[in-house]
């Protein structure tokens, strides 16, 4: 019998990072004590200025060395893949409404409401639903949901491994996010089992985090890569719709049936030195803010049972107002870090003017983020959300285009929508080396998560790849109609 070699237990990087931090803090304290003591000695001895200068130079050298050693390795986004749903899953409005009328659970008022939502949603007739929701009545059991998992996760992983030339055995960290479906074994375990990944892979399964989960997981991956040197991480983002269908008649819950559509994305991140040669982007900054502490915000989008005990996601009327407040706290922090001094000054001046001069007629100045950011990937929750966020950030049609076109072609794909927007920009060949991209994810909780990327190499010949390959030539579509962008 041939026995497989037993791998040695891996050294815990978190423990080593903690020990290194404690040691560096102790050494730095010793250096400061030594410098202070030496300076006091020199003052007491009335030494020549040259000795004070040399001591100052030594302190500055130590500060520079500390800065260099404390810098974490850059995190690169090597590449990503997005699912293109099969044509058999396409759900035109007429087919959707005809099937819904045959489910024998929706009354005429609910059918009319869903028809209106579809027509004003900003999505086209080409969006897709999983096969389970094409049945009459829909199949929303565990097995159908697991079938959908295989359909949306495995193809994009295969594609990502193929175009990055990375093996499943090269993956050190795996993060999977899906808000509404959380089986046991977890989705992360399903992926590890499928690809026979390593025994020491660090896997995480994120659920219940809504449409902002993908940006949140990039933040999590970046933090993990900071303490796990020379590592690769994969983030998988999707939403399983088979178990999320609402079969009642409360209008606030029916919106989800009309907007959410199939989609998934796989993202490879790395802090390896060789990753810089092939990576598309560098992760510059991630930021997470939320308002779950506020009751009104907390219940603005919540999964609950209706009066008949049927489960669905309720969207309250004040959702847009809550989203605006959640967004404001996020962009205030991000803006204070990345905006040029002139923009900060104008914002601060308008804030002081409104506060002390009580000029209610004038609003607070909205900084121009276009001075430091070239491309915007915004929440794809719906046309009204995109327009409100764009208006709040003073963006034009070109900046809102990726979100509006993604909503039109693919619908609201929850957390993975941000990557379809980035794929749109690449397919249009608008992303150039040095450009900055702001991915803004907003979800239930409520929470707002930002990811700031910088392109590190020319991105060309992407128009014939990815989910937009067969239709990018038709976009953008600008129609003066409330139903389509």
- CA gap 433, 84 in Å, rounded: 27
Closest Cα partner for 376 from 363, 359, 364, 389?
389
Element (H, E) at 226: helix 213-227
Q: Confirm if 349 and 337 have CB atoms less than 8 A apart.
A: no
Closest Cα partner for 166 from 80, 283, 289?
80
> For the chain, which residues make up each domain, given as ranges?
76-474
Structure confidence by residue, pLDDT tens digits, 432-464: 999 999 999 988 888 899 999 999 999 988 888
What does pTM read for this prediction?
0.84
Ranges under pLDDT 70 in the chain? 1-22, 24, 66-72, 354-363, 478-485
Closest Cα partner for 452 from 77, 73, 179, 80?
77
- Which pLDDT value is given to residue 483? 39
Phi then psi for residue 340, to 5 deg, are: -65, 160
- Say how many C-beta atoms besides its own lie within 10 A of residue 50's C-beta: 8
- Which pLDDT value is given to residue 112? 94
- Residue range 76-474 forms a domain whose CATH class is alpha beta
Secondary structure (DSSP) of 66-84: HHHHHPPPP-EEEEEEE--
- Which pLDDT value is given to residue 70? 56
Residue 395 neighbours by CB under 8 Å, 6+ apart: 370, 376
- CA gap 481, 56 in Å, rounded: 68
- CA gap 390, 49 in Å, rounded: 59
* Token couple for 73: 């390795």
* Token couple for 428: 């249009």
Burial of 130 (0-12, 13-18, 19+ CB in 10 A): buried
- Which pLDDT value is given to residue 248? 87
DSSP 128: B
- CA gap 405, 484 in Å, rounded: 9
CA distances from 29 to 24, 51, 53, 61 (A): 8, 22, 21, 15
- Which pLDDT value is given to residue 339? 86
Q: Is the peptide bond before 476 cis (omega within 30 degrees of 0)?
A: yes
Q: Confirm if 287 and 331 have CB atoms less than 8 A apart.
A: no
- Which pLDDT value is given to residue 18? 52
Structure confidence by residue, pLDDT tens digits, 6-47: 333 344 444 555 565 567 677 777 877 887 777 777 777 777
Q: Is the peptide bond before 372 cis (omega within 30 degrees of 0)?
A: no
Residue 407 neighbours by CB under 8 Å, 6+ apart: 121, 122, 123, 380, 382, 383, 386, 417, 485
* Token couple for 250: 């409360």
- CA gap 374, 411 in Å, rounded: 24
Can you name the residues that pair with 224 across neighbouring β-strands? none
Structure confidence by residue, pLDDT tens digits, 258-316: 989 999 999 999 999 899 889 999 999 999 988 888 888 888 888 888 888 888 888 88
Closest Cα partner for 153 from 269, 237, 221, 245?
237
- Which pLDDT value is given to residue 3? 34
* Token couple for 359: 């000029």
């Amino acid at each position: 019998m041939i026995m497989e070699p037993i791998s040695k237990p891996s050294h815990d990087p978190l423990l080593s990072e903690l020990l290194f931090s404690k040691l560096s803090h102790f050494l730095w304290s010793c250096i400061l004590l030594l410098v202070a003591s030496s300076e006091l000695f020199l003052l007491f001895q009335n030494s020549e200025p040259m000795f004070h200068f040399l001591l100052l130079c030594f302190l500055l050298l130590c500060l520079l060395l500390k800065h260099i050693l404390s810098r974490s390795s850059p995190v690169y986004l090597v590449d990503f893949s997005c699912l293109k749903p099969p044509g058999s899953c396409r759900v035109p409005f007429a087919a959707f409404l005809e099937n819904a009328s045959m489910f024998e659970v929706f009354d005429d008022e609910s059918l009319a409401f869903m028809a209106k939502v579809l027509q004003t949603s900003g999505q086209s007739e080409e969006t897709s639903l999983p096969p389970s929701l094409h049945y009459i009545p829909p199949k929303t059991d565990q097995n159908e949901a697991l079938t959908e998992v295989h359909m949306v996760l495995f193809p994009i992983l295969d594609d990502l491994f193929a175009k990055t030339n990375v093996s499943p055995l090269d993956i050190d960290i795996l993060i999977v996010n899906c808000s509404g479906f959380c089986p046991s074994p977890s989705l992360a375990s399903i992926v590890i089992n499928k690809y026979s990944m390593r025994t020491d892979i660090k896997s995480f399964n994120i659920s219940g985090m809504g449409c902002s989960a993908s940006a949140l997981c990039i933040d999590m991956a970046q933090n993990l890569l900071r303490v796990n040197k020379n590592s690769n991480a994969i983030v998988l983002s999707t939403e399983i719709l088979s178990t999320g269908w609402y079969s009642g008649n409360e209008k606030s819950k029916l919106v989800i049936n009309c907007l959410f559509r199939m989609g998934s994305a796989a993202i490879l991140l790395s802090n390896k030195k060789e990753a810089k040669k092939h990576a598309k982007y560098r992760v510059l900054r991630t930021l997470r803010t939320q308002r779950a502490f506020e009751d009104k915000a907390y219940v603005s989008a919540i999964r609950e049972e209706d009066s008949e005990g049927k489960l669905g996601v309720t969207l309250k009327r004040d959702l847009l107002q809550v989203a605006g407040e959640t967004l404001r706290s996020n962009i205030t922090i991000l803006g204070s870090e990345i905006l040029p001094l002139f923009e900060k000054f104008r914002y601060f001046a308008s804030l002081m003017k409104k506060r002390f001069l009580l000029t209610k007629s004038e609003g607070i100045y909205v900084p121009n983020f276009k001075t430091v950011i070239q491309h915007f990937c915004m929440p794809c929750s719906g046309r009204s959300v995109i327009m409100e966020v764009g208006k709040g950030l003073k963006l034009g049609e070109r900046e809102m285009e990726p979100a509006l076109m993604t909503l039109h072609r693919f619908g609201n794909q929850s957390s993975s929508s941000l990557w379809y927007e980035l794929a749109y920009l690449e397919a249009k060949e608008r992303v150039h080396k040095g450009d900055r991209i702001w991915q803004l994810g907003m979800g239930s909780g409520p929470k707002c998560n930002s990811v700031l990327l910088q392109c590190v190499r020319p991105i060309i010949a992407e128009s014939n790849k990815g989910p937009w390959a067969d239709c990018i030539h038709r976009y953008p579509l600008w129609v003066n109609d409330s139903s389509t962008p």
